[in-house]
Every structure is written in C-alpha cells, then in structure tokens.
Amino acid sequence: GRTTDLWEMAEALAAYGCEIIVIKRGERGQLLYVGSSRTRWDVPPYPARVKNPLGAGDAFCGGFLAGYRRTFAPLQAVLHGNISSSLVVEGDTAAYALDALPGLAEARLQSLQQSARKV
C-alpha cells in the first residue's frame, strides 16, 4: 500500500493528526497541505540568483516558523520560509541575508504571493 504520490503521503500524515504538512522540494519550491481544510498549495521558488545553496533548508525552516508566529496562516508561513531561503542562497554565508536591503524581503513576499496556487 505504499505510494510515490506526494499528496497522498501528505493526506496520510494528516490522518495521524498533523495539521500542516510542508514538502520542501529544493529548486522546485514547496507543497503545502493543510489537514483541517484538506487544502493543497503549490508554491514555486522565488527566482533568486543562487550563489551558494548551503543553508537554504535551515533558512526556510526559520522563516516558516517566524512567518507562522507572525500570521498563524500556513500559506503565509511557507511564503516567509521561501523568501528567507531566497535571500540566503544569494550570498556566501547564512549571514548574507542579514545585510539585505530594507524592504527587500517584504517586496519579494508580495511578489511571490501572486505565484502561489491552490491545487
């Protein structure tokens, strides 16, 4: 009874009580499944100029948690994580994102919101 379908896997995890399932797909962005509403989202990656992918996953997780704490909205949390990782991969170190231009993360967030699509 095993499957390779990511949405089926997300539904199975939701059946165990997971409320929010995020599937990180690297350069292909993220999939979000919200168990309570059975809502599916496909979030493309922000088109960053990748210089060093090291730390992108950690940056996503940190951005996700900060976004969720800020908005308590799963989709917004995924978007925040996506943007966090887009800033990190453009530099040599994780600290590169700390020197981003003021307002850059927010501008990217607004831009990416238009690209997220309900599946």
Please state, in angstroms and rounded to a whole number, the distance separating the CA atoms of residues 41 and 88: 23
Q: Active site includes 58?
A: yes
Chain-centroid distance of CA 108 in Å reads 13
Please state, in angstroms and rounded to a whole number, the distance separating the CA atoms of residues 103 and 106: 5
Torsion of CA 5, 26, 42, 20, to 10 degrees: 80
**Among 5, 58, 92, 99, which one carries the catalytic annotation?**
58
User: Could you tell me which residues are beta bridge partners of residue 32?
Assistant: 22, 41
Q: Sheet containing 20-24: which strands, arranged edge to edge?
A: 20-24, 30-34, 39-43, 117-118
Catalytic residue set? 58
